[in-house]
Structures are given as C-alpha cells and as structure tokens.
Amino acid sequence: MKKNKLLKVIFSAILIVPFLGSLSYAGNYSKDIVDTAVSAGKFNTLVKAIKAGGLVETLKSDGPFTVFAPTDDAFAKLPAGTLKALLKNTKKLKAILTFHVVPGKVMASDVVKLNSVKTVHGNTIKISTKNGVKIENAKVIATDIKASNGVIHIIDSVILPN
C-alpha cells in the first residue's frame, strides 16, 4: 500500500511540475509588470497593446498596480478586426487597457472580498464570486503573479468599459 501511495505522489508531481515551471516567472519579483508579462509568453497581444497605447512607462513605474491581464487567447475572442482597429486608435485602446488596471496591489484574497473596484480608467468593474471569480464577464484563471510593482491576475476575456 505504501508503495502505491508513493507512486501516486511521484506521478502527481511529474504532472504538476511542468505546470509550475510555466509559472516560474511569478516568483521573480525583480521584474516589473511589463517584464513579467513579456517573460510569461502568454501576453504577447497585451504587451503589443500596452506599447501601442503608450502605457509601458506607466506600468514600469513604481505603482503598485493590479492588472487583470487577458491572455493572447482572450484577445483572439474579440470580433474580427477589433484588435487591429484598436491598435490604430490610441485613445480608445488606452481606455480599454486602463479598464484592466486597478491602483494598488490587490491580491486574490482581497479580490474575493470585493463586489467592485475602481480602475485607473475611472470606471468601476464588477467582481462576482459565484461559480468562480469573475471580473465583469471575464473569468479569473490564475492569480497573484507578483511583480516588483504590483500583481497580475490572468483573465480569459478582454473586458470593455461601458
């Protein structure tokens, strides 16, 4: 029995370690939010949008900031042509990006206690904890990716201000 239990633990570790390795960037607090996003490799579209929106310097500053970061897959869910149009419209792009950023460092343990939070954009985003945590209509799929100037929570959709 003990041997079977040990084998289960080893097998579980073999399955989990590659996943943890993909998040190893989360423990490197010497990187700011932008560099952490670049290192992750899952936010290429977000980083491109941050550059196009002129927000690199802001998100590299001291902060702290909390970023609800849509993955590349989340951006791919946007209707055809939307991203291309946004990248050309700096004002609208900046508004959407700042709708994903909250001033201060809001960890997952704090997020679940809130019903809403005010963004850098100035609007309030709704938080729901029914059936998992949602920010507006985006599901939070990973949390507490720490950076030197804040924290990133990964979401599965781009959220749009009203």
Domains of the chain by residue range: 2-155
Residue type for 93, please? L
Q: How confident is the model at residue 5 (pLDDT cuts 50, 70, 90)?
A: very low
pLDDT at 113: 92
pLDDT at 63: 87
pLDDT at 131: 86
Considering only CA atoms, give the Rg of the chain.
17
Q: Span 39-63, mean pLDDT?
A: 93
Closest CA to 160 of 129, 119, 132, 130: 119
Fold of 2-155: FAS1 domain (2.30.180)
pLDDT at 21: 37
pLDDT at 64: 95
Q: What is the pTM of this model?
A: 0.80
What are the pLDDT digits (tens) for 80-100? Answer: 999 999 999 999 999 999 999
Interatomic CA distance for residues 109 and 129, integer angstroms: 12
pLDDT at 22: 39
| Three-state DSSP class for residue 157 | coil
Q: How confident is the model at residue 106 (pLDDT cuts 50, 70, 90)?
A: very high
pLDDT at 30: 78
